[in-house]
Amino acid sequence: MKTYTGSRILIECLKEQGVDTIFGYPGGTILNVYDELYKHQDEITHILTSHEQGAAHAADGYARATGKVGVCFATSGPGATNLVTGIATAYMDSIPLVAITANVATSALGKDSFQEIDIVGVTMPITKHNFIVKDVKDLAKTIRRAFYIAKSGRPGPVLVDITKDATANKAEYKYEEPKAVERSTENIAKKDIEKVVSLIKASKKPFVFVGGGCNISKASEELKEFVDYIDAPVCDSLMGKGAFAGTDDRYTGMIGMHGTKTSNFGVTECDLLIAIGCRFSDRVIGNAKKFAKHAKIVHIDVDPAEINKNIKTDASVIGDVKIVLSRINEQLENMKHEDWMKHIKEMKEQYPLTYDKSKLTGPAVIEAIYNATKGDAVITTDVGQHQMWAAQFYKYTREGQFITSGGLGTMGYGLGACIGAKVGVGDTPVFNIAGDGCFRMNLNELATASRYNIPIIQVVINNHVLGMVRQWQTLFYGKRYSATVLEDKVDFCKTSEGLGAKAFKVTKKSELDKAIKEALKAGCPCVIECVIDNDDKVFPMVAPAAPISEAFSEEDLASKGFEV
């Protein structure tokens, strides 16, 4: 048993948990912690970001890419509140994150002290759990509990706020092995498994819908075995990408607002929809009353709160997806649905994803990156048209390969996440795909990448507008482009060079492959600005609140005389 300051106890607890990287930004109340971190810099790497939001996004990207818990630090007041968007992003997507903030001394709490904020109160709705530590004796058990909560069951962010006196005061410390996180099986009922198996065996037209829970559970092998057993097509959500290989013949693409027609029409026609590790987001289901209306619904999820929340189910199993699928697989035999699979194949041929290949477009950029990396890069994105193109035109084959803000839809997320992911995965190429609107929000994190020479590749698909908002204005608001035109004098290449990155400007499709190739071999942060037309659109599309069976393409609009 040793006696340490609270700051030393914190660092020792982080070492217990296997933390090797922290993203953060120092300030007055957290100085004791940073002083202790200085003494342990050979054991824990600290990445100083340009903004606390960047630290939260980097920790999030690191967690998604590695499967570990991401960790970020911030000081009190504005430092802590600057983490909020990043914490909310992680919360919506069930990402294991521990945010550690410091607050004013216990004696100064509640007195409107300089840089005081009730960050526990602020973050209560967007954390899985949060704590304030005022007594150094409570610190070690709180940190250990925070990591366990972040990792267990349905993962999520946990915030630990520590008063400054608790970081300075001393207490006894004894090393403890981290508590093992067991997969959630306590709610898996034999009768629920049997009911699901009976529905599967009775089905003539099954369809499998894969959500982010499959990635979190690392259930890709069990999922592949399951799909092969039941001989069914597979679609995924934005968060589910990579759990089932996008190169597999059974794969039909994403479902929902910008999903493929094959996925949307197929789910509408199926007689059994098997939803695995998903939350039936509004962007997936469209009009809930008309979603998969011919099908019985099976829902497998670790979180009982998701069952019957958005879509009424006919059968469900609550538990870790990997375990549930393995138990279902034990009761299955090889099935054949030849007519159904033939019909799905015909739809894939009839409704392929297409784009104008005569010019530089968003899809052309994504396909060029896919070809240059042979499908082996990690892709992070911001939010908007570029995000949808990245989801549609890069074929993901493993978990942690596609990193995006699915639930909160956070513009400015991608660059920080890209830095965190690259720190986590090492030699694997990591690209962030952003639009010009998103890139403006957190481009200061290029300075972070250049400070540490983290060789990320930032792609800016520049259409000089807020593309997705403009697309909605075109289709639903009479082409009234209110506050979405970004024509100004900002030079992204010069700005990027000023922040320490190597920059390439691409205005023609013929220039694209060379820029990507040079960026891949540069060994330093690179920015590739790709200038495209400001009225390029993402298709297919489902209008907000419309049934997914009403997905339409640009050709569909043209046939009705609507010019886009």
Classify the phi-psi angles of 84: left when phi > 0, otherwise alpha if psi is within -120 to 50, otherwise beta.
alpha
- Catalytic residue, candidates 17, 23, 36, 52: 52
What DSSP designation does 293 have?
Answer: T
**Nearest residue to 61 via CA among 416, 310, 412, 395:** 416
**Nearest residue to 73 via CA among 128, 7, 136, 134:** 7
Whose tokens are 């967007």? That residue is: 126
Nearest-angstrom CA–CA distance, 282 and 411:
19
Tell me whether residue 347 is one of the annotated catalytic residues: no
Whether the CB-CB separation of 484 and 441 falls below 8 Å is answered with no
Whether the CB-CB separation of 187 and 310 falls below 8 Å is answered with no
Nearest-angstrom CA–CA distance, 434 and 386:
6
Nearest-angstrom CA–CA distance, 262 and 347:
6
CB atoms within 10 A of CB 30: 26
- Catalytic residue, candidates 164, 241, 422, 502: 164
Whether the CB-CB separation of 460 and 528 falls below 8 Å is answered with yes
Run of H or E residues at 191: helix 190-202
Cβ-based burial of 452 (10 A; exposed 0-12, middle 13-18, buried ≥19): middle
- Catalytic residue, candidates 115, 134, 341, 441: 115
- Catalytic residue, candidates 114, 170, 342, 517: 114
- Catalytic residue, candidates 387, 468, 492, 529: 468
Secondary structure (DSSP) of 443-510: GGGHHHHHHTT---EEEEEE-SB-HHHHHHHHHHSTT--TT-B--SS--HHHHHHHTT-EEEEE-SGG
Nearest-angstrom CA–CA distance, 564 and 118:
48
Tell me whether residue 468 is one of the annotated catalytic residues: yes
Whether the CB-CB separation of 85 and 56 falls below 8 Å is answered with yes
Tell me whether residue 164 is one of the annotated catalytic residues: yes
Whether the CB-CB separation of 213 and 220 falls below 8 Å is answered with no
SS3 content of the chain, % helix, strand, coil (to 5): 45, 20, 40
Nearest-angstrom CA–CA distance, 52 and 86:
9
CA 512 to chain centre: 27
Nearest-angstrom CA–CA distance, 273 and 311:
11
Tell me whether residue 1 is one of the annotated catalytic residues: no
Tell me whether residue 52 is one of the annotated catalytic residues: yes
Alpha-carbon dihedral of residues 236, 239, 244, 247, nearest 10 degrees? 80
Active site residues: 52, 114-115, 164, 468
